Structure 1
Amino acid sequence: MFWKKSPSAVLASLLAIHLLAHIDRNMLLGFSPQIIGDLGLSNAQYGFLVGAVWVLSFGIMAMFMGTLADRFSRTRVIAAGVLIWSVCTWASGHAHSFEQMVVARFFVASGEAALVPAAVALLAELFSEKRRGTAMGLFFMGIPLGIGCSFLLAGTVGSTHGWRTTFDALGIIGIGIALSLMLLKEDRSQLAPQERCAAFLPQVLATLRLVGGNRALRSTIIGFVLAHLVFASLSFTQLWLVNERGMNAAGIATRIGALQLLFGTLGAVVGGVMGDRLAGKLPGGQAKFMFLLVATCAPLMIVCRFVAPDSPLFYMGMCAGFFLPLALYGPANTAIMSMTPQSMRSTISGFTMLCINVFAIAIGNLVVGMAVDYLHESGITAPLTGVLLATDAVAITSALFFALAARASGRQPVLETEVLQVER
């Protein structure tokens, strides 16, 4: 497997694929006013479309794909996922009803569920623990780059050619990438038993036992999940700025895209690099570093909801919200991988993705949409402002769980080479 001899090239390739994944996933956010208008969606339907529909597919498939990636070829698992999500991205551009869009996005999520579990385990194999946070942070730059590019495409190419043509083009690009990935081989059938996972059900049960029996791991995952409620706020940010701050839809899409691109990317890089450098110096390691990140960004995020749009604090708060969740990806995944046996890394990554998509993305977006509709019908003049403020406050409670993880990690050894015995 010659391609493994160049970890940097593998990382760059995975970053490019991750970028495409998040462009495809977040185009609904960039085109939210247009798609809501064309398909006649309510706020609750839109919240379901960008949230709950993902857990019906992505959440379950992330863990299933994780077990496949731990047992078979990770490159082939990724290639199959890219092909599925790209075909269904093309299909999304041809949807003419809420139901058709739900079906298309359901299978986009199924395909995207293959990428992160396989990629995280592959990077954990190729990079030492001292460099792992940086590698993870660079890989997860695909999230802010993808979100930013989706808004930029919506505000530029999309404003000229429309959202349907944009979806068509993205689907075709992804199909080409998937066919190229099929050429990369990775034969895991010859690995030692401790390096390959068990069958699906025993692997899932072993994962639950691992999480249930490791307080530091459990607290890290809970904190990481809660921090993702920032993304539930992001799903409604453009609607908030247009409906309650009086900004132009096309202009704000470009502005959000640029800020997300800059500060989300900065967060991914800074979080990964600084986490690697400070983990050995801080009591509690990566978990303590994540606690400090949340504590630093939280005040600005809250103030943003109260000040006028022309205030510097307004943009500082928005930028802190873009920076924080991405800054957590490098240290969080590094901490999780260090507490997970090699034979379970893709599976535990899939489990984490499952929890994120169930509790933060699906339930978070649906509850936000329902709450906004309820407050609007009750005559509240600025329902989005109040709901998004509450969402940010819940996300900030992640600091408590990172503090608990830091305390617990000081009482137990880091699991780097230990093998969890499961029935095979």
Structure 2
Amino acid sequence: MPESARADPLRAARRAGRRAGLRALLPPVAAWLVANLVTWLVAYGSVAGDGSEVAYWSTGSRRRWDAEHYLSIARTGYEMFRCRERYPDFPDIVCGNVAWFPGYPMLVRAASATGLSYEWSAVVLAEASLLGMFAVLWWLLGARLTPATGLTLAIGTVFPGGIYLHAMFPVATGTLALLLCTVGVKRSSWTLAAAGGFAAAACHPVGAVAAVMLLASAFFAWRGDARPLRFAKAVSAAAVTACGVLWALWLMWQATGRWDAYATIQAVSYGQGDLRRPLEEMRKAYDFPFSDWYRPKGDLPWLVGHGLAAHRPEFWLNAAFALLVVATAAVLLVRHHRLAAEEWAALTLTVAVFLLPFLAGAEMSWYRNHAQMFVGLVLVSRMARWVQVPLLAFCAIQYALLGAMFFAGVLV
């Protein structure tokens, strides 16, 4: 047989493989595009109600409050000082940017080496992370388009708090790291699980919940190993995750000379750092008067006017989502007497992410922290259609309302 005849079937197989790979990427890419389209429409209704400008396509629309601190860390590193040294009319408390973790800013700094501005580097990193989130979620769902997986991706495009996945915040990057940590648990890859945990914790304090999940993984993962090795892998992966927090504290110490820089600014300037009563913190978060604290001037677009208190239905939606994830896991356990390793991981992370802001006292930022419950979509794919469809509808409505708060500059 001629050499060319033998090569033709091989080339055809490679082409077929490439086409199959491209088809497998279509659903997550489509979800990412839809997420941006929906967010643009929310921005249009929030900021450009008269149709004169669509601010979503500018970096300014993604740059809100804490984004300034992440950008300052990317540019010049950490700093800590007495507020009155620079702002004479400010209370005599500690100021600086040591209340924010370095994972995202360091990646922004690296991206800026390509010639992009820090602002555009931050936006590109957030959007690339969001695309990665959809891709990894799609893999965890089996990369097969069905009504269940399609609805799950659709819910992901309007996920509660997901407006921050497009902003200059570490929410998308940290959530991608949590998903990669989940993949590591599913594949029994200690390296991937530990690396994902480290990255999640280095991006945001909420990411430290990966350590809790990895400790618990000794009971539901690493099935191919003997029991002592399971515990060794779980404990060591959790320890690597904790190193993400230690790395953040080390960078702060290098810049300020104080190991307690993070704890000090959290306690003195933000009244955080100690454990709180979660039910009491939930009430404070629910009652926080955003519309009185900052109200845009002039005539408000309809969407903004109806969304100034959107954090309240957001609380109920987030709580319902966490409960639905728990209920789904319970039903699966009753019916099948087991959960897959990635389902245990998603369950643990979802509950921990929901509770952590209320244990720490994040009354003005819990809604963006809760966006990292995105990992719970692994279990949403196992929900009945009569649950998925209403959940999608409620998420879409709430996404528009909370997005209006964000683009109007009301949310922190």
TM-score when scaled to structure 2? 0.28
TM-score when scaled to structure 1? 0.28
Between structure 1 and structure 2, the one with the greater Rg is 2
Higher relative contact order (CA 8 A, sep 6+): 1
Which structure shows the higher helix fraction? 1
